[in-house]
């Protein structure tokens, strides 16, 4: 783990501007509307939450899993 956030892998790989996000969405989801993408994000966030509750995992861990899932599948 880097001591300096500005040199960390999180900053270098996962901190994206709105324009970069829009470009990534446009490239990978040309066949999906923004509404469909929002529905998919909600569906998978709910699925992660459901699995976490069934496994009796703390809410902080479920929230972290949801954030990592979204970051991973953006790229």
SS3 58: coil
Written as six digits, the tokens of 19 are 């324009």
> Which two structure tokens, joined as six digits, stand for 63?
């929230």
Global pTM value: 0.61
Selection from 31, 25, 27, 32 nearest residue 70 by Cα: 25
**Domain residue spans of the chain:** 32-75
pLDDT in tens, the chain (75 residues): 557 777 777 777 777 788 887 777 777 667 777 788 788 889 999 999 999 999 999 999 999 999 989 888 765
């Amino acid at each position: 783990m880097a001591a300096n956030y500005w040199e960390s892998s999180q900053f270098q790989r996962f901190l994206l501007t709105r324009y970069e996000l829009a470009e990534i969405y446009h490239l990978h989801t040309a066949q999906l509307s923004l509404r469909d993408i929002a529905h998919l994000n909600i569906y998978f966030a709910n699925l992660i939450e459901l699995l976490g509750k069934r496994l009796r995992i703390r809410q902080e861990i479920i929230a972290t899993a949801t954030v990592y899932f979204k970051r991973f599948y953006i790229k």
